[in-house]
Every structure is written in structure tokens, then in C-alpha cells.
Amino acid sequence: MDVFNRPDGVEDSKKTANPSESENNTILVAEDNKETSYFIKVVLEKSGYKVMISADGEDAIKRFMGNKDKIRLLILDVMMPGKNGKEVYDEIVKMSPDIKVIFVSGFTADIIHEEEICKEGQGYLKKPFLAKDLIGKVKEITGE
């Protein structure tokens, strides 16, 4: 897939309600795999979102602390060096109880739920995922 062209299933943000028109329109992505984080960034930006990328959990927490009024959604890899996605979410939710989250992992959904990583009202995507699945899950979790 050529990530510079609009991925299948991703609409032109100029044709739909533009999420970047709101004040808190940034999505913070914590993903240690560079290719995956780049894919997520391109897909979300092509859909009109602002994106911050962190390569690990500690950096994600620092970025959130400095931008918490702008960030509307977290996309967190379950397995990262240092703090994992669940640990990152547990720290951030103390600062911002209403923050929305989508966990991403190569693990199956039943393992994620069995380990109580992802709970009711939180999103989960199994890697690898398609652009349309990412956008669909973002819209579902944010209520767009």
C-alpha cells in the first residue's frame, strides 16, 4: 500500500466533518514499531486528525502531561519497552478520567479481555489492521 495515497476506506476529510476544527483534536499514539506508528499517523492525518507519536510509554506520559487539553484519544500498543500500554493508560486516566483509548496489539481479543487490558467502552484493534478499521474504531470510540 502506498501510504501517500489515501488508503482504502479513508474518506477525504474535506468532504466530511473535519475533526481538526475542534480544540481538543489530537490523538496521542504510543507505538514502538516505527512502521506501524507511521501507518497510523498517515491514516489519521489524511482523515483530518492531528497526531503525536511516542515510541514508548514514558514519552507518551510526558507528552500527555504537556498537551492534555489538546488530546482527545490515546492509541496505545499493549507491549512496549518500559511501561506497557495498560500502565500508560492507568497513569493518564488519573490525570484525565474521561480520556478515550484504543489498545492495539498482535494478541487476539480474547487474550486482551482475559488479561483485563481492555474494558467496556475502550477500543481494541488486532495488528495488523486496515486503514478503514482504524478510522472506524476512532469514530466509534470518540462518538463521531
| Per-residue pLDDT tens digits for 35-94 | 999 999 999 999 999 999 999 999 999 999 999 999 999 999 998 888 999 999 999 999
3-state secondary structure of 3: coil
Report percent pLDDT > 90 for the chain. Answer: 65
H/E stretch holding 46? helix 34-46
Mean confidence (pLDDT) of the chain: 84
User: Do the beta carbons of residue 122 and residue 98 sit within 8 Å?
Assistant: no
User: What residues does each domain of the chain span?
Assistant: 21-142
Answer whether residue 6 shows pLDDT above 60.
Answer: no
What's the pLDDT at 8?
52
What's the pLDDT at 112?
59
Determine the CATH number of domain 21-142.
3.40.50.2300
